[in-house]
Amino acid sequence: MKLLQTAMMAVAIMFSFSAMAADYQEGKHYKTLANPVLVRDPSKVEVVEVFWYGCGHCNHFEPTVKAWKMSIQSDVDFRQVPAQFSRQWKIHAGLFYLTKALKVHEKAHQAIFDSIHKYRKPLLDKDDQKEFLAQYGVSEADFDKYDDSFMVRRQLKMADQLVRDYKISGVPAIVVAGKYVVNASSAGGEEHIFGVVNHLIELERKLLKK
């Protein structure tokens, strides 16, 4: 049932794009950064969602993100980057990269949102995180090995600098090609964000083909 709902949402997103693409305007529906940020793969159109696990809007937006991912083509490089605007945000960002280091991210990502927003367990304490990740086969030894490891610290540092370079102050926000920033306010609601994003992808796709 969830897969069907996600697929239907993906179709709705594409319809929204085709219906409104001609109306998207720079400075109104999205902003262009004065100093573009380098992307990790110049051969593709990069799309980055900046988010926080503890953000209610990000939690609500996550199903839309999942649906949109079903529709992207192979020339689009999508990733999520956690913002670190406070101590709590940094703890959750660390958990994000920890799950990646432990190779359980795909299984744990939605469950982290659910733990925080559905079950009211914020996962800010290391013991709570260990208990949570144990359900995915993560031992205490592996947790301790990767928690606060050089790999995780390096990714946190890079993510923090990236968000600073994007000049983002709120989440969720989407950055396309390291230079266009879209959020719910600019797009006219969360449901319209990926319509704008898809429009920007098409603009960049044409530039890549030149």
- Here the CATH number for the domain that contains residue 152 is 3.40.30.10
Least confident of 12-21, 164-173, 186-195: 12-21
Query: Among 141, 162, 183, where does a domain finish?
Result: 162
Co-location of 190 and 153 in the same domain? no
The verdict on 111 and 177 lying in the same domain is: no
The answer, as to whether pTM is greater than 0.85, is yes
pLDDT in tens, 24-80: 999 999 999 999 999 999 999 999 999 999 999 999 999 999 999 999 999 999 999
Domain count for the chain = 2
Q: Are residues 152 and 182 in the same domain?
A: no
Q: Mean pLDDT across the chain, nearest whole number?
A: 92
Is the domain of 105 the same as that of 59? no
User: What letter represents residue 175's amino acid?
Assistant: V
Three-state secondary structure readout of the chain: CHHHHHHHHHHHHHHHHHHHHHHCCECCCEEECCCCCCCCCCCCEEEEEEECCCCHHHHHHHHHHHHHHCCCCCCEEEEEEECCCCHHHHHHHHHHHHHHHCCCHHHHHHHHHHHHHCCCCCCCCHHHHHHHHHCCCCCHHHHHHHCCCHHHHHHHHHHHHHHHHHCCCCCCEEEECCCEEEEHHHHCCHHHHHHHHHHHHHHHHHHHHC
Both 78 and 95 in a single domain? Answer: no
Do 28 and 132 fall within a single domain?
Answer: no
Do residues 156 and 97 both lie within one domain? yes
Are 89 and 154 part of one and the same domain?
yes
Closest CA to 143 of 133, 135, 153, 151: 133
Where is the domain boundary, 126, 147, 162? 162
What is the distance between the alpha carbons of residues 55 and 50, in angstroms, rounded to a whole number?
Answer: 11
Q: Are residues 143 and 188 in the same domain?
A: no
The pLDDT tens digits of the residues spanning 129-144 come to 999 999 999 999 999 9
Q: What is the pLDDT of residue 209?
A: 83
Domain that holds residue 30: 1-82+168-210
Q: Is the pLDDT assigned to residue 8 strictly greater than 80?
A: no
What's the rounded Cα separation, in Å, for the pair 92 and 54?
A: 8
133 and 97 in contact (C-beta within 8 Å)? no
Is the per-residue pLDDT at 103 higher than 90? yes
- Asked if 78 and 103 sit in the same domain, the reply is no
Same domain assignment for residues 72 and 26: yes
Claim to verify: residue 70 and residue 20 sit in the same structural domain? yes
